[in-house]
Amino acid sequence: MLFPFCRRLTSGNRSPFSYFIRIHHGHTAAGPHFAHDILVASRRHRIGERMRASRTRSILVTGCAGFIGFHVARRLLEERYRVVGLDNLNAYYDVSLKQARLAQLISQTGFEFLKADLASREGTESLFKQHQFDYVVHLAAQAGVRYSISDPYAYVDSNLAGFAHLLEGCRRGGIKHLVFASSSSVYGANTRMPFSPHQPADHPISLYAATKKANEAMAHAYAHLYRFPATGLRFFTVYGPWGRPDMALFLFTRAILEGRPIDVFNCGVMLRDFTYIDDATEAVARVMLRPAEPNLDWRSDQPDSASSSAPYRLYNVGNSQPVDLNELIKTLEAKLGKKAQVNLLEMQPGDVPATSADISDLTRDIGFRPSTPLAVGVGRFVDWYRSYYGL
């Protein structure tokens, strides 16, 4: 029986650079799922060969000490690419975790770290004057739907001003391709699922989502005006080792192991398209090497949101298999060997009850489909968590 405040998931209820630090100088969890690991290794070999064949300068990865940015930077380094990683190491969550990720990157040949903030116009201009990049993978942002309610200016500075400064750098730097992180949050009030990048996403319900939608519009304007390729990736609930402490899987794991109740919103009546980090990383690496091109069939009288007459594309990056939140909890309980104490709460402002990704465009264009099973991904996260915290 649902509490009065819980929503049902039914079709009938659609209701400056401050300073530079320059340091010049990977592993995948193994498990019983050998076939899946071998397939991933094969994919990595093929894309690695293409990367080495096309290498001339270097890649800028912003947000390199963040969750997805760390994994992408490490993956590119494993492919022997030269990577310039940028991060401001802000205190949105535990800085020591960001520093630990960064230490993994610093130990590898071909990596240069810049501690900097894209919100500084002068600093970003200096970055692009001092470096030449083939590709820019922009994963830096102020993340979090709920935090955008309490500190909106952090999102304006990082996600809007910072992105504008980056676009200007890309324009002047003559890059081959900008790949930038968007979010499934842009779908906002939409209830038609699976979410498709071809459908309008004009009703964000959080400032975070609004800034990500604005990033898409800004990137398109630059692609149109200056003809440099730009591709946006709408990530769907990425999880896995080295994850963010503000995400549900991390919060639940910590609380269960400490014997504290977990906060479950909307009584757990929620669906999420959980995407394992290795799958998200694979998608980024493949998309990067496929610069967006104009859609020759694009019509201004029937505009397609996912493409353009400019060199611009949008893709969903998800597992395309939505999971009930209670199933996630049960899977986590089984891996931890401990039951969760549950604190049922109403839906939080800015949150949505369900997400589901249509990834047909992604699969068609890059020949890859995220497929890591939830049990595999959760297991690898828990193994990492126990190891990292010495439990």
Q: Which residues are catalytic?
A: 208
Contacting residues for 243 by C-beta, under 8 A, at least 6 apart: 67, 249, 250, 277, 381
Using CA atoms, how far apart are residues 261 and 99, in angstroms rounded to an integer? 29
Using CA atoms, how far apart are residues 38 and 28, in angstroms rounded to an integer? 11
**Could you report how far apart the first and last alpha carbons of the chain are, in Å?**
37
Q: Are 161 and 123 in contact (CB under 8 A)?
A: no
- In three-state secondary structure terms, 218 is helix
Q: Which of 306, 322, 303 is nearest to 364 (CA)?
A: 306
Tell which phi-psi region holds residue 38, choosing left (phi > 0), alpha (psi between -120 and 50) or beta.
alpha
Q: Which of 102, 30, 316 is nearest to 190 (CA)?
A: 316
Could you give phi then psi for residue 201, rounded to 5 degrees?
-135, 70
Using CA atoms, how far apart are residues 92 and 315, in angstroms rounded to an integer? 27
Angle (deg, nearest 10), helices 67-78 and 277-288: 60
Q: Within 262-324, where are the H helices?
A: 277-288
Q: Are 134 and 58 in contact (CB under 8 A)?
A: yes
Instruction: Write down the residue that tokens 């209820």 correspond to.
Output: 13
Give me the count of residues in the chain: 391
DSSP 126-190: HHHHH---SEEEE------TTHHHH-HHHHIIIIIIHHHHHHHHHHHHT-SEEEEEEEGGGGTT-
